[in-house]
Amino acid sequence: MGRSNAVPGRYRFLLLLLHILRAVTALEEKIVSKPGDNATLSCIYRGAELHLQSLRVYWQIADDQEECSVVHALISGQDNESEQCAHFKNRTQLFWDRLEEGNFSLLLLNVSHSDEHTYKCVVLQKKEYTKVIHQANVVLSLAASYSQPILRGPMRNTNSTEEEVTFSCRSGNGYPKPNVYWVNKTDNSRLPSSEPKITLHDDGTYSVFSTLKVKASPNMQIECSIENKILQENLSANYTQQKQSSDSSTESPKSLGKKGRGAQAVGIISIVILMGVLVALTCWLRRRRSSKLVSYTDVQSNEDEGRLSCKY
């Protein structure tokens, strides 16, 4: 009895995997998305004309050996959700109007930190036999810029035996967790600080709060720096102690405003008093002149007095 030439099923599967590995070399792309945004994972085949009925497209997680790795599947022109991971249910979409053009990119909705993976796109075509015609890898990272740091201080430490002051630095709405550095700008040396307090918010972003205690000096120059490694961003806030001379004084805009208004009021009162003095002097001169006219002429006194009198 002759041996059967049929290949067992388990070996067929291994042969298919080997064929997939040898068929094409995967391209890799890196993209960065903000938590809560939508991310497009690119997978574009530029080759011969395609017919969706003969294609199978698989999106899967490539860097994690979990029980479920299927992100999205397209079989014979139809979405297949039977093996899709629960984490990706109702969160993935293909661009249907571009599929026949070879664009198998995947839209991933409302990304979060749990979506940070390397994703693999595999496109298989079935004719005489099934073969891989295209594959691509996409590394998805999440990042968001932190707000401009707010630096406060120095605040005197009443409980300290030495002349010690405290600075605080705050920033938020960023991702991933930042690095916080305190720098003495007089010599660009790093300053030791307390462990920063990092808070995770509902939208997936972080806020950070850090404090620094240093010995007070007459020329303090302190910098707080917030570093986002993925975005290669480094935001900073600075404090420089202003040295004032002993014979000079600075006044706040509020106090200067009050003094200015007071001086203006005094000036108005002085003008009113001066005008009153001038009016009184003019009337006195007119009355004196009228008295001289009465002594030299014989006119009606009542009419003269009525014309020359001053009313106050």
Whether the link from the prior residue into 192 is cis, omega within 30° of 0, is no
Please tell me whether residues 279 and 193 are part of one structural domain: no
In three-state secondary structure terms, 203 is coil
- Per-residue pLDDT, 103: 95
Domain assignment of residue 250, yes or no:
no
Please tell me whether residues 19 and 132 are part of one structural domain: yes
Domain assignment of residue 91, yes or no:
yes
Please, are residues 44 and 102 in contact by the beta-carbon 8 Å criterion? yes
- Per-residue pLDDT, 110: 95
Q: Which residue, 88, 120, 142, sits at the end of a domain?
A: 142
Domain assignment of residue 56, yes or no:
yes
**Spans of the chain, pLDDT less than 50:** 1-7, 9-15, 17-25, 245-260, 293-312
Task: Report CA 267 to chain centroid distance, whole Å.
Answer: 52
In three-state secondary structure terms, 267 is helix
Q: Which residue, 84, 117, 142, sits at the end of a domain?
A: 142
Q: What angle do CA 216, 218, 220 make, to 5 degrees?
A: 65
Single out the residue of 222, 138, 236, 226 nearest to residue 175, CA to CA: 226
- Per-residue pLDDT, 26: 53
How far is residue 40's CA from residue 43's CA, in Å, rounded to a whole number? Answer: 9
Q: What is the pLDDT of residues 158-208, one digit of tens each?
A: 665 568 899 999 999 999 999 999 999 999 999 999 899 999 998 889 999
Token couple for 151:
């630096």
Domain assignment of residue 262, yes or no:
no
Please tell me whether residues 31 and 131 are part of one structural domain: yes
DSSP state of 195: P
Please tell me whether residues 162 and 230 are part of one structural domain: yes
Q: What is the pLDDT of residues 58-67, one digit of tens each?
A: 999 998 766 7
- Name, in order, each residue with C-beta under 8 angstroms of 1's C-beta and a sequence gap of 6 or more: none
Domain assignment of residue 104, yes or no:
yes
Count of domains for the chain:
3
Domain assignment of residue 18, yes or no:
yes
Q: Which residue, 142, 171, 199, sits at the end of a domain?
A: 142
Domain assignment of residue 60, yes or no:
yes
Please tell me whether residues 78 and 159 are part of one structural domain: no
Please tell me whether residues 311 and 283 are part of one structural domain: yes
- Name, in order, each residue with C-beta under 8 angstroms of 211's C-beta and a sequence gap of 6 or more: 166, 167, 168, 169, 193, 194
Please tell me whether residues 85 and 158 are part of one structural domain: no
- Per-residue pLDDT, 285: 74
* CATH number assigned to the domain comprising residue 83: 2.60.40.10
How far is residue 151's CA from residue 90's CA, in Å, rounded to a whole number? Answer: 43
pTM: 0.62
Domain assignment of residue 33, yes or no:
yes
Residue 55, number of CB atoms within 10 A of its CB: 21
Q: Which domain holds residue 278?
A: 269-312
Please, are residues 190 and 183 in contact by the beta-carbon 8 Å criterion? yes
- Per-residue pLDDT, 291: 57
Please tell me whether residues 135 and 18 are part of one structural domain: yes
Please tell me whether residues 37 and 110 are part of one structural domain: yes
Please tell me whether residues 125 and 206 are part of one structural domain: no
How far is residue 43's CA from residue 107's CA, in Å, rounded to a whole number? Answer: 11
How far is residue 62's CA from residue 81's CA, in Å, rounded to a whole number? Answer: 19
Please tell me whether residues 24 and 127 are part of one structural domain: yes
Residue-wise DSSP of 153-179: EEEE-TT-SSSEEEEEEEEEEEBSPPE
Please tell me whether residues 138 and 160 are part of one structural domain: no
